[in-house]
Amino acid sequence: MSHYTPRAVEPAALAALRSVDDAGRPCLPYTAEEGGEPLRCCLRPARPGERLALVAYAPLRRWAAATGAAPGAYDEVGPVFVHAEECGGYEAAGETYPFARPGALRTVRRYGADGRILGGRLVELPGLDEAFDEAFADPAVALVHVRAVEYGCFHFEVRRD
């Protein structure tokens, strides 16, 4: 059972991304044919027939704007799948982390309150709890981002409680 809470993309950010994404491109919705796309709005796989969008998202930039941090060169923009229209958001089940396919590789990147990267770790799933324990053992770590190794996509964020 996980003891850290994954954070989906915030509703205000989603509303903006559904218009113009963080790379300045308009949102182009499509209908999922097979499903399975990892949705960052509700942290679950898409179902066939759902309306989705693949948008560019800058999670550290948005967090920094809210906190006054200055991530500098660590401000990354990458692709994420979201519902094309508002959805119910993420409901934490408390049993596992989203997109936790055993054997998948993830990076866990640590960031300080100033927005600068403090390190990272390659994790083979399962193993996120240990990586989060290690990250938050450092009092300078304010949040971590979990990303897929294959495409570098942002999966979710965990913040210090």
Please give the single-letter amino acid code of residue 131.
A
Q: Secondary structure of the chain: what % helix, strand, coil (to 5)?
A: 15, 30, 50
pLDDT of 96 reads 73
The Cα 11–Cα 33 span in angstroms is 25
pLDDT > 60? residue 1: no
Using one digit for the tens of pLDDT, what is the confidence trace for 124-137?
A: 999 999 999 999 99
Phi-psi region of 109 (alpha: psi -120 to 50; beta: other; left: phi over 0): beta
pLDDT > 80? residue 93: no
Confidence of residue 3 (pLDDT cuts 50, 70, 90): confident
Using one digit for the tens of pLDDT, what is the confidence trace for 42-77?
A: 999 999 999 999 999 999 999 999 999 999 898 989
Whether the model clears a pTM of 0.85, i.e. scores above it, the answer is yes
Tokens 């996120």 -> residue: 128
Please give the single-letter amino acid code of residue 114.
D
> Which residues, including other chains, have CB under 8 Å from residue 157's CB and lie 6 or more apart?
6, 7, 59, 63, 143, 144, 145, 146
Q: Give kind and range of the element (H or E) at residue 130.
A: helix 128-136
Alpha helices, H only, 50-110? 59-67
Region 32-50: mean pLDDT is 96
Region 113-131: mean pLDDT is 95
What is the SS3 assignment for 96? coil
